[in-house]
Structure 1
Amino acid sequence: MKFRLRSIQSGFTLVEAIIVIVILGIIAGIAGLFLSGRVQQYQDLGLRIELSDTADTAARRISRELHLAIPNSVRSANSGCIEFIPAYDGGRYRSATNSTGGGNAFTTTQAITGFDVIGPLAATPSPGDFLVIYNLGIPVADAYASADNRVSLNNLSTTSFLSFGSKQFPFESPGKKFQLVSGTEQAVSYVCSGVGVDAKGNGTGRLYRVSGYGFVYPEPTACAAIGTSPVVAQNVSACQFTYDPGVRERTGLVSIRLTLAKSVMQTSESVNLYYDVNVNNVP
């Protein structure tokens, strides 16, 4: 008896192959939509974090410097800038001689050329730095005006004795306090310039830190010139500074409103920041 072996062949038909390809395409499309959404969310989050960090860093830097401003020196020519005189050190002066008549005491009854510091300073002041006493921000007691309560130190100053040209101060400080200001930086301004939004949704403005331009008196009606000042924040789409002096010789309030906007490919984000800074105005 003879047996015939018949080979059995199996495989996909063309129709079956097309069906498989279509199904795989649908699955890939669904997966792509799901993943693209996740990637977009990740890009949005990264951009928001970048803008938030930039705005927060700028506001904190301004806040830190405002806390070092000499009393009653904060002012704002307009909502696009804030100006103040930062102090790098300070202390208390000798207000009376010792029992034997020794010591260099501060007085307002006559011109003096120096006084003793009660408790040493952190470092020796540089010649050309400025000494300010009892700043009230009013005529005769305004550190922006050179003839009032501000004087330039000379090279005889030490950590325990401050020396300057002959000067008769108009007032003494109730707390016997003084502040020292850098002769290089002098007054400082934070200025917003070019604020707006372009067609792509990017903030067009920048926030600058301006210094070294001197002391402007009387108070100007325009912000300090930017020049080659360093940039603190970019992509600024809105910016506003307001200053409420409150009760003189107490506490003032600086309000900072900063909006940053940036667009990257399909992602467009903006961040709004509002920051209040309490300023000590007790001279």
Structure 2
Amino acid sequence: MRHPSRTTPLQQGGFTLVELVMVIVIMGVIGAVVAVFMRSPIDAYLDSNRRAALTDTADTAVRRMSRDVRKALPNSVRTPNPQCLEFIPTRTGGRYRTAETVAGDNTSLNFAVADTTFNMLGQHSLSPADQQIQIGDTIAVYNLGIAGASAYLGDNTAAVTGVTDGAETTISIAAKQFPLESGSTRFHVIPVEEQVVAYVCTGGNLHRTVTTGSFNSTCPVSGPVLAANVGSCTFVYSGSDLQRNGLVQIQLDLNSNNEPVRLYHEVHVNNSP
């Protein structure tokens, strides 16, 4: 009778403990060498991502500011300090009638007395919905940004109390005698929901704050954060009162994990009232 063959210990295959330790050590050395060569590309990739994110944030903020400034009421842009940019936004504008259609119909804007109604040339209802005049909006005529003709002081503004469409749009306002006529018979409309807009840098954030119900503003910072990780920002406005054109210079510095990004942008301001 045959018995099954048995394998002796000398015939069994495998690794000794010493061999396993040597393999682990060799693999560790190889991994360390690979890590040294991989670290720089990975760090560069992460740095590039951070720079891209910062650049995108700064670019979005600058574009938003530029869009707002271009719609500002002429001669309303000001920089109370280098970290604050303020202006009065506009919803739309138009031309007022200077002569009555029929004597005594009160369709023209009278600058000799406190007027309460006038006709706008054209129909405001044909404008896009976000540009249509609303009750509560403010009419500004010939804003020069100086005493006697300053929208901030209420010299040349009146609240809209009614809007009626016909062959022309009739705008009713709170009784107001406007101090100066516009050479181009223009008026601007300030939205009721945004009477003063302020961009302020403080505490590492860029805030966009809206003031309603008043044109008094002192660079408030209660608004939402438009950009975070702000190292510094500088606003410079070049253009004094009575100049047709102005220039807003915006410099925004963002920093994240010692990765800095700086954006510089200039915005043309039309100050023709």
Give TM class, smaller chain: 0.7 to 0.9
Q: What amino acid maps onto 2:227 in structure 1?
A: A
Give the counterpart of 1:158 among 140, 147, 164.
164
**Residue 243 of structure 1 aligns with which residue?**
237
**Residue 148 of structure 2 aligns with which residue?**
140
Post-superposition shift, 1:270?
1.3
Change (3 A) 1:9 1:112: closer
CA distance in 2, matches of 1:235, 1:246: 32
Give the counterpart of 1:110 among 83, 97, 113.
113
Aligned residues: 255
Which digits, 9 at most, give the CA deviation of each residue in 1:189-234, with x for residues without a partner? 111112xxxxxxxxxx111111125212xxx7xx42323x111111
Tell me, yes or no, if structure 1 residue 225 matches structure 2 residue 220.
yes
CA distance in 2, matches of 1:47, 1:54: 11
Give the counterpart of 1:280 among 263, 270, 273.
270
Which digits, 9 at most, give the CA deviation of each residue in 1:133-189, with x for residues without a partner? 11011111111112x1101111x2235111112221111111111111122321111
Structure 2 matches for 1:75-154, cutoff 5 A?
A: 75-98=78-101, 104-121=107-124, 122=127, 123=129, 124-146=132-154, 148-154=155-161
Give the counterpart of 1:190 among 199, 206, 209.
199
**Residue 6 of structure 2 aligns with which residue?**
none
Change (3 A) 1:127 1:168: same
Q: CA RMSD in A?
A: 2.6
- Indicate the larger mover: 241-250 or 40-49: 241-250
CA distance in 1, matches of 2:17, 2:227: 62
TM-score, with normalisation over the residues of structure 2?
0.83
Q: What amino acid maps onto 1:235 in structure 2?
A: N
DSSP-derived class of the 1:104 partner: coil
Contact 2:145/2:241 (8 A) holds in 1: no
- Indicate the larger mover: 181-190 or 59-68: 181-190
CA distance in 1, matches of 2:105, 2:90: 30
Change (3 A) 1:141 1:247: closer
CA distance in 2, matches of 1:161, 1:100: 16
**Which blocks of at least 5 consecutive residues in structure 1 are unaligned?**
1-6, 195-204
Higher helix share: 2
**Residue 269 of structure 1 aligns with which residue?**
259
**Residue 54 of structure 2 aligns with which residue?**
51
**Which blocks of at least 5 consecutive residues in structure 2 are unaligned?**
1-9
